[in-house]
């Protein structure tokens, strides 16, 4: 029997981007029915699918400084969860066999009655009924139709990972290994409501509409009797046993995320090149910074707020909320950023305590836009861009991604290997590094390069980040090139 799958589910099974399937639909090669596609049509489009290979897909990892979700391998669930899912599937199979046995008994009884009627009162109608039964049974027993590979793959994937569907957004993600639902949602690039992530605040509670969750971590937050009756669960303390439908609050805009203050520990300070440091901060398990990719935070050495404070874009993805990354440039220290000056002066070390305020800013991914993504950045403007790109790859929202990175000094692409790795490992990703000494000239040159990537401005959203002179020049050049203002987002670094 033909099975109908959502595009997200079909993409997961086939190991392709959702946008690949959307293009097949747009080109008329893959029929779609109310946002779903049939297993039969998928097999016609991908006739060489191998169940053994597709059942445990391994996304192609790529080299570079840090990996995003698309570089992770599938992780088997713990044996008790695997056993539970197998029991669930075994129960479904047993029920199906019972139904088949009942249908078999019904057909045999019907055959016997038809034969009795044919003997007692022969007629053309009875003969036709007997002939229909005989021919139908012969066709069923003689049917050598191949097994639906997509259906088999879907059943295997249900054992390996549970699927979560979110209402009202319609987002889908997989819960793999021993992940909680909250962790899986963050890894998938979603922005659920949560606070501590440790079972204390209750902000991550969501209503389970269908399916079964199981508690895997202790929590202290007391759900009310009404919440329990309505099947509310804490996502930070539960994992999915079966496929699940949740009613869950998600942040859609920066206004949906409150300003927070957390105390983090310096995990490492390491040079990216002779003028740029990578600062890694680790937040406590009970107090994490909730933010959208591309936003900023203010940092200060604990107890030294007045003299060692600085504002920086967050260079990491919200999917790893405990590990915050920042790209700190010597140019920022020279421009008066007190925290950057302290870091380059040797005043920030691993183990130090840092106060973090944020998030701030609206330079974030427009996740609902169907357009491709074009990033035009200069120097440490790559920091917020990196976070947004990782987030975009996690949620698989863009048909194509272009990155134009201008540097105002020789060798200033301090993470060029990351850009090259994305371009080498991901379909429809292009990386174009430029070196132009003057920031304003770099803005013009970067847009010129961007026009080679984006033939039609109507099809691309542009994100511009860098020094003020670069951003101003790039914005003017984009406007002159006919880019709609509503498709341009910009921030200075």
Decide: 247 and 206 in contact? Cβ < 8 Å. yes
pLDDT value, residue 51:
52
Decide: 453 and 402 in contact? Cβ < 8 Å. yes
Kindly report, residue by residue over 100-115, the tens digit of the pLDDT: 999 989 998 998 998 8
Decide: 432 and 56 in contact? Cβ < 8 Å. no
Kindly report, residue by residue over 302-339, the tens digit of the pLDDT: 776 656 799 999 999 998 888 999 999 999 999 999 99
Question: Is pLDDT at 57 greater than 80 in this prediction?
Answer: no
- Residue 31 structure tokens: 């029929």
Question: Is pLDDT at 247 greater than 50 in this prediction?
Answer: yes
Closest CA to 406 of 370, 429, 376: 376
- Tell me what the mean pLDDT of segment 408-412 comes to: 91
Question: String of b and e for 42-52 (b: at least 16 CB within 10 Å)?
Answer: bbeebeebeee
Least confident of 26-35, 101-110, 286-295: 26-35
For the entire predicted model, the pTM comes to: 0.79
Please give the DSSP secondary-structure letter assigned to residue 379. Answer: G
Which has more confidence, 152 or 127?
127
């Amino acid at each position: 029997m033909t099975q109908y799958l959502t595009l997200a589910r079909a993409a997961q099974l086939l190991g392709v981007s959702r946008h690949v399937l959307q293009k097949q639909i747009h080109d008329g090669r893959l029929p779609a029915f109310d946002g779903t596609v049939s297993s039969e049509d998928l097999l016609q489009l991908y006739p060489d699918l191998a169940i053994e290979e597709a059942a445990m897909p391994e996304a192609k990892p790529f080299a570079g400084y840090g990996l995003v979700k698309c570089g992770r391998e599938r992780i088997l669930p713990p044996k008790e969860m695997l056993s539970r899912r197998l029991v669930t599937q075994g129960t479904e199979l047993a029920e199906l066999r019972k139904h088949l046995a009942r249908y078999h008994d019904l057909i045999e009884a019907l055959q016997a009655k038809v034969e009795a009627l044919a003997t007692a009162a022969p007629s053309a109608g009875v003969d036709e009924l007997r002939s229909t039964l005989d021919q139908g049974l012969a066709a069923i027993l003689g049917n050598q139709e191949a097994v639906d590979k997509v259906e088999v793959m879907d059943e295997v994937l249900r054992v390996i990972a549970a699927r979560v569907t979110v209402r009202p957004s319609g987002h889908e993600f997989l819960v793999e290994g021993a992940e909680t639902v909250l962790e899986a949602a963050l890894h998938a690039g979603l922005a659920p409501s949560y606070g501590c992530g440790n079972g204390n605040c209750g902000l991550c509670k969501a209503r389970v509409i269908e399916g079964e969750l199981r508690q895997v971590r202790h929590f202290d937050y007391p759900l009310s009797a009404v919440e329990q009756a309505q099947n509310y669960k804490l996502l930070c303390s539960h994992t999915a046993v079966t496929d699940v439908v949740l009613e869950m609050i998600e942040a859609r805009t920066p206004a949906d995320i409150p300003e927070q203050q957390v105390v983090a520990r310096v995990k490492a300070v390491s040079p990216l090149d002779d003028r740029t440091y990578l600062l890694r901060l680790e937040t406590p398990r009970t107090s994490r910074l909730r933010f959208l990719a591309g936003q900023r935070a203010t940092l200060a050495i604990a107890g030294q707020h007045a003299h060692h404070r600085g504002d920086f874009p967050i260079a990491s993805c919200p999917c790893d909320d405990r590990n915050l990354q920042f790209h700190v440039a010597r140019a920022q220290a020279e421009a008066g950023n007190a925290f950057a000056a302290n870091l380059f002066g040797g005043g920030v070390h691993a183990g130090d305590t840092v106060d973090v305020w944020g998030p701030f800013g609206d330079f974030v991914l427009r996740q609902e836009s169907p357009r491709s993504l074009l990033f035009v950045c200069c120097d440490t403007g790559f920091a917020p861009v990196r976070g947004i790109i990782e987030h975009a790859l996690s949620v698989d929202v863009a048909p194509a991604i272009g990155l134009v990175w201008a540097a105002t000094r020789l060798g200033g692409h301090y993470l060029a290997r990351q850009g090259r790795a994305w371009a080498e490992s991901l379909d429809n990703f292009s990386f174009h590094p430029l070196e132009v000494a003057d920031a304003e000239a770099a803005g013009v040159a970067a847009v010129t390069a961007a026009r080679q990537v984006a033939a039609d401005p109507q099809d691309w959203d542009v994100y511009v980040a860098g020094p003020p002179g670069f951003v101003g020049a790039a914005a003017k050049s984009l406007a002159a090139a006919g880019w709609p203002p509503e498709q341009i987002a910009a921030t200075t670094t």
